Structure 1
Amino acid sequence: MSRLNGRRAEAEAQGLRINVAILGAGRIAHSMARTLVAMAADPRYAGLVAPYAVAARDGGRAAAFAAEYGFPVSYGSYDELLADPDVDLVYIATPHSLHAEQGIACLKAGKNILVEKSFTANAAQARALLDAADGSGLLCTEAIWTRYMPSRAIVDRIVASGAIGELRSISANLCYPVSGKARMSDPAMAGGALLDVGVYPLNFIDMVMGGHGEVPVERVETSMTPYAPTGVDAQNSTTLYYANGVMAVSTSSMLACSDRAGCIWGDKGYVVCRNINNIEAIDVYGADHAVAEHYDVPAQLTGYEYQVAAAANAILDGREECAEMPHADSLRIVELMDELRAKWGLKYPFE
């Protein structure tokens, strides 16, 4: 068990902070490192979290990473991280295919975990990871930042207010030309557009529908274009038909650029969210297509701070999951992505 789980009063009395270690030293790890440094310098978060350590398979790379961001500790192996009793929270920043194995190892070592999306490569891995977390007293939560951002609450309030009338349809897309990255096209690393970028429009739709699977999906229609060299999905489109009559379309690609828009359509108006991957602004339109309301989202450090703060507070409160992304939601999204791949006939070599 981590030293601070469920010990908020003790931590506050002694001025103790959640020590965060990053497992992995790739691109996303650098984004998290910048976030932790910014949080440590911000009065809103300075007393909550501390940038503590980084682990990589190469000690020199880890040391250089730590020096760049001023982390006091670096490790040349993941086992060294697991053995450090001062690590309170591990951010797992490795490819999808490694999340379950590394997450389970962290939990067995008594470490709380914040697991980069996609939570795991498939539902079987997700269940194994959640089984390890269940009853452990340790936090296990998925780091899909859009679930934790203030923009989520703004969208929820707009839809609930009746400003656009009754919800009828949703459209969300996220596309980046990233097929040149080796990880993205490698089936052994669960590559393809779906798990990397497609997970965002699916989550956007799920959040608009209230999360928690409250409205069941009755039918799924989907298709994809394979990436010729390796067979992973290069582009895909999915239509979800909900039991309440709402139809939602999710599109993602690792070949194209897109407007990244999230659109929510009602019978009296509609909402347009600019960039579902990190909402920049939200406009509400009436049936006359004139802007009725405009919302700017709060200024942020990097956008990652919300998930880190949620995880840190959950640890201090002794919770095993975050309300923003509970275990059931992570599992349901991975199960949906499994269903899509099954319809496409796409399996990863390790399955």
Structure 2
Amino acid sequence: MTGRLRWGILGLGGISRKFTADLWAAGIEVGAVGSRSQATADAFAADFGVARAHDSYAALVDDPAVDVVYVGTPHPFHAEHALLALRAGKHVLVEKPFALNAAQARAVVAEADARGLVVLEAMWTRFLPHMVRLRELIRGGAIGEVRTLTADHSQRLPSDPGHRLQDPALGGGALLDLGIYPVSFAWDVFGRPETVWARSTPTATGVDAQTTVVLTYRDGQQAVTHSALDVAGRNDAVVLGTEGRIEIDPTWYRPTTLRLVAPDGRVVESVDGVVPGRGMQLQAFELERLVREGRASGDVLPPQESVAIMETLDEVRRQIGLVYPGE
């Protein structure tokens, strides 16, 4: 495919505003936006100088001025809206988590495969410079045999029972909003876990306030992740190896600094991972690269891995008793 790809933004909440700001700053064209409300679509389009604003998601995906659709709606609608865009012949970047559960994720990937379209999970952290360097260091043996990963994602978020994060019907709780980051990180470093162990503390509305997950692997490696929505944590991470460690400063899942540290505590290398904006444009660059090269998936986050991560999250939810309405 030649020429510039034109993006459509489906769902115009806070995450879509952040993503669109990074797209425009990076020179990526946004051709249209879509909401369930014409007034909301018009206001969003005016804020970002977008020419076309639609009052339905169906109109957005059918717009010939759109080549790629970014799905920024709440978790329970990710699969539905990704399928809507794919069936309209559009490539899709779907906000994390990829879907509400693994069954939905499989349906999205199958549809993309059947139509020869690219679908990518918007796990933006994977594409940030410090994470790219972390993978290079690990592959190059800089810390020897990798043994342990620990990562936290804890924020003090709204406690209002009516808020999306507290609502089971909207996929609320710490796990899918916050915990997916460190779980995806563990998958990035170690791959598929051999065992999953999880414990949780619920909120008054029945979603998880905090969840700890321990993943173990065939050769004895361990990943320990923690997420919480009622306390503000340090939000740092470390990967330990037999010949050193990699420390990631707060906030580890955003553009930040990384250090390669020797066993005696010497800093061998320091990486400044700061990028323009939030760095969300980098996942858009990846999707556009895949489209240009005629590839269905890349090496950083193939869609089948997004499905497998959802399988891990499904198992965590099974163990902590977190069931969403309609599943």
TM-score by structure 2 length? 0.95
2:26 pairs with 1:50: no
Question: Shift of residue 178 of structure 1?
Answer: 1.4
Tell me which of 135, 157, 165 is aligned to 1:184: 165
* 2:313 corresponding residue in structure 1: 337
SS at match of 2:239: strand
d(CA) in 1 for partners of 2:119 and 2:194?
Answer: 29
Question: Shift of residue 71 of structure 1?
Answer: 0.6
Q: Structure 1 counterpart of 2:268, which letter?
A: A
Spell out, residue by residue over 1:117-143, the C-alpha distance to the aligned partner (whole angstroms, 9 max, x if none): 000000111111112111212111111
* 2:226 corresponding residue in structure 1: 251
Residues 154-165 of structure 1 aligned to structure 2 (within 5 Å): 154-165=133-144
2:173 pairs with 1:237: no
2:11 pairs with 1:24: yes
Residues 287-298 of structure 1 aligned to structure 2 (within 5 Å): 287-298=263-274
State whether residues 151 and 224 of structure 2, in contact with CA within 8 Å, keep that contact through their aligned partners in structure 1.
yes
SS at match of 1:217: coil
Spell out, residue by residue over 1:62-89, the C-alpha distance to the aligned partner (whole angstroms, 9 max, x if none): 1011001101110111121122122100
* 1:273 corresponding residue in structure 2: 248
* 1:148 corresponding residue in structure 2: 127
Q: Structure 1 counterpart of 2:254, which letter?
A: N
d(CA) in 2 for partners of 1:110 and 1:94?
Answer: 19
d(CA) in 1 for partners of 2:267 and 2:99?
Answer: 40
Question: Shift of residue 298 of structure 1?
Answer: 4.8
SS at match of 2:115: coil
State whether residues 171 and 324 of structure 2, in contact with CA within 8 Å, keep that contact through their aligned partners in structure 1.
yes
d(CA) in 2 for partners of 1:322 and 1:86?
Answer: 26
SS at match of 1:337: helix
Question: Shift of residue 290 of structure 1?
Answer: 3.0
* 1:200 corresponding residue in structure 2: 181
Spell out, residue by residue over 1:90-144, the C-alpha distance to the aligned partner (whole angstroms, 9 max, x if none): 0000001001111111111111110000000001111111121112121111111
* 2:99 corresponding residue in structure 1: 120
* 1:46 corresponding residue in structure 2: none
State whether residues 239 and 249 of structure 1, in contact with CA within 8 Å, keep that contact through their aligned partners in structure 2.
yes
SS at match of 2:206: coil
d(CA) in 1 for partners of 2:199 and 2:148?
Answer: 19
Structure 1 206/72 Cα, relative in aligned 2: closer, same or farther at 3 Å? same
SS at match of 1:350: coil
Structure 1 234/179 Cα, relative in aligned 2: closer, same or farther at 3 Å? farther
Worse overlay, 160-169 or 68-77: 160-169
d(CA) in 2 for partners of 1:217 and 1:323?
Answer: 19
SS at match of 1:134: helix
Tell me which of 249, 257, 282 is aligned to 2:258: 282
Spell out, residue by residue over 1:251-288, the C-alpha distance to the aligned partner (whole angstroms, 9 max, x if none): 00011111111101122321111122114001122222
Spell out, residue by residue over 1:326-345, the C-alpha distance to the aligned partner (whole angstroms, 9 max, x if none): 11110011000000000111
State whether residues 22 and 29 of structure 1, in contact with CA within 8 Å, keep that contact through their aligned partners in structure 2.
yes
SS at match of 2:21: helix
State whether residues 79 and 99 of structure 2, in contact with CA within 8 Å, keep that contact through their aligned partners in structure 1.
yes
SS at match of 2:137: helix
TM-score by structure 1 length? 0.89
Q: Structure 2 counterpart of 1:74, which letter?
A: A
State whether residues 137 and 318 of structure 1, in contact with CA within 8 Å, keep that contact through their aligned partners in structure 2.
no
* 2:64 corresponding residue in structure 1: 85
SS at match of 2:43: helix
Q: Structure 2 counterpart of 1:236, which letter?
A: T
* 1:3 corresponding residue in structure 2: none
SS at match of 1:306: helix
How many corresponding residue pairs? 324
SS at match of 1:135: helix
Structure 1 85/287 Cα, relative in aligned 2: closer, same or farther at 3 Å? same
Q: Which runs of no fewer than 5 residues in structure 1 stay unpaired?
A: 1-6, 12-16, 41-48
d(CA) in 2 for partners of 1:183 and 1:206?
Answer: 27
Identity of aligned residues (%): 37
Residues 310-329 of structure 1 aligned to structure 2 (within 5 Å): 310-329=286-305
d(CA) in 1 for partners of 2:236 and 2:70?
Answer: 28
* 1:109 corresponding residue in structure 2: 88
